[in-house]
Amino acid sequence: MLLADERAALCGIGRRMAGSGLVTGASGNISVRAGDLVAVTPGGMMLDRMAPEDCPVLDLRGEPVEGERAPSSETPMHLAIYEVTGATAIVHTHSTYGTVVATTMTELPPIHYNTLALGGVVKVAEYATYGTPELAANVRAALEGGIGGGGMYAALMANHGGVALGRDLEEAYENARLLEWLCGVYVRARMIGEPRVLTEEQLRQVVERGLTPPGHTPGAPLA
């Protein structure tokens, strides 16, 4: 079986995503790239009930290489991200707080310096119908920039959810968890009052001091 380890890893991450509330039902999807091939979760299947053989393998044009099931409808977005970044794994969520922020804001205000672990201020991609080239283009645009110009590790999708990137599946999953935590902090802070937002200069000072979570390099290119 092609990409056997990668397909098994998709199933493991899918179970963790369901268990941590990043997805419900058959929502959300995951992919991992290995050279010129991509393994992706199947469309319409609950992520905590997949077996490795359920996850189809495609080439970078989206053409099927192995697998009986149809790939996720969001596969064009995954392929578009791989085309312009050095990411080798992508996690797309429909988490509660992320979706709340994506439904009400144009960006996630940086109320905590841990936003730097995602590259900088997380943008909300403009709305487009799921599975369309328009959505793929909007998400690509939202991933540009970041502190230091190294690109973003995450973006939100208007009235939809979030997407997180990584140099492997574990990093992509942890970035998705961090994105949801940051959105949760912001939403809860708004319940109490007007949150204080860190300035760009304050964020740059944090970068200079190197005070970032272990394993993350804010603003570093995904390569």
Residues that are catalytic = 74
Instruction: From 170, 184, 182, select the one nearest 216 (Cα to Cα).
Output: 170
Distances (CA, A) of 195 to 177, 182, 204: 21, 12, 20
Instruction: From 220, 127, 137, 126, select the one nearest 175 (Cα to Cα).
Output: 220
Residue 194's contacts (CB-CB under 8 Å, 6 or more residues apart) are none
Residue 87's contacts (CB-CB under 8 Å, 6 or more residues apart) are 33, 81, 165, 166, 167, 172, 222
Distance CA 82, CA 14 (A): 20
Instruction: From 153, 145, 161, 155, select the one nearest 213 (Cα to Cα).
Output: 153
How many angstroms from the chain centroid is the CA of residue 143?
A: 10
- Cβ-in-10-Å burial (0-12, 13-18, 19+) of 140 comes to middle
Decide: 28 and 6 in contact? Cβ < 8 Å.
no
